[in-house]
A and B are shown apart, each in its own frame.
Chain A
Amino acid sequence: MAKNVGIVIVSHSPDVAKGAADMVRQMVGTHVPLAWCGGNPAGGLGTSVEAVVKALELAWSDSGVVIMVDMGGAETNSEMAIEMMPEKRRARIVVCNGPIVEGAVMAATESSSGATLERVRRAAEELYSR
Chain B
Amino acid sequence: MIQAVADTVIGHADELTELDRAIGDADHGVNLERGFKAVLAKIDVIAAHPIDQALSEVGKTLILSVGGASGPLYGKLFATIGQHLCGPEELSKARVVAACEHAIGVLKTLGRSDVGHKTMLDVLVPSLDRLRATDGPASLRTVREHAHEAAVATIPMVARRGRASFLGERSQGHMDPGARSSELIVGAVCDFLETRL
| Inter-chain CB contacts under 8 Å: number | 61
Q: Distance (Å) between the CB of B178 and the closest chain A CB?
A: 11
Bound form: Cα–Cα A21–B31 in Å: 26
Contact, CB under 8 Å: B31 / A46:
yes
Q: Distance (Å) between the CB of B171 and the closest chain A CB?
A: 14
**Can you name the residue of chain A whose Cβ is closest to the Cβ of B65?**
A41
Interface residues on B, range: 20 to 34
> Chain B's interface: helix, strand, loop or mixed, by majority?
helix
Task: Specify which chain B residues have a CB less than 8 angstroms from the CB of A77 in the assembled complex.
Answer: 67, 69, 71-72
Task: Specify which chain B residues have a CB less than 8 angstroms from the CB of A39 in the assembled complex.
Answer: 67
Bound form: Cα–Cα A77–B73 in Å: 9
A42 at the interface (CB under 8 A from B): yes
Quick one: CB contact mask for A13-54 with B, threshold 8 Å, 1 for yes? Answer: 000000000000000000000000001111011111110000
Binding site for A on B (CB under 8 A): 25, 27, 30-31, 34, 63-73, 75-76, 110-111, 162-163
Task: Specify which chain B residues have a CB less than 8 angstroms from the CB of A49 in the assembled complex.
Answer: 63-64, 71-72
Contact, CB under 8 Å: A42 / B110:
no
**Chain-B contact segment, one of A56-64, A68-76, A111-119:** A68-76
A80 at the interface (CB under 8 A from B): yes
Task: Specify which chain A residues have a CB less than 8 angstroms from the CB of B73 in the assembled complex.
Answer: 76
Contact, CB under 8 Å: A41 / B72:
no
Known: A72-B163, A76-B110, A79-B110. A44 touches B67 (CB 8 A): yes
Known: A46-B31, A49-B63, A77-B71. 13 other contacts (CB 8 A): A40-B34, A40-B66, A41-B64, A41-B67, A44-B27, A44-B30, A45-B25, A45-B27, A72-B162, A73-B67, A73-B69, A76-B110, A76-B111
Task: Specify which chain B residues have a CB less than 8 angstroms from the CB of A41 in the assembled complex.
Answer: 34, 64-67
Contact, CB under 8 Å: A50 / B64:
yes
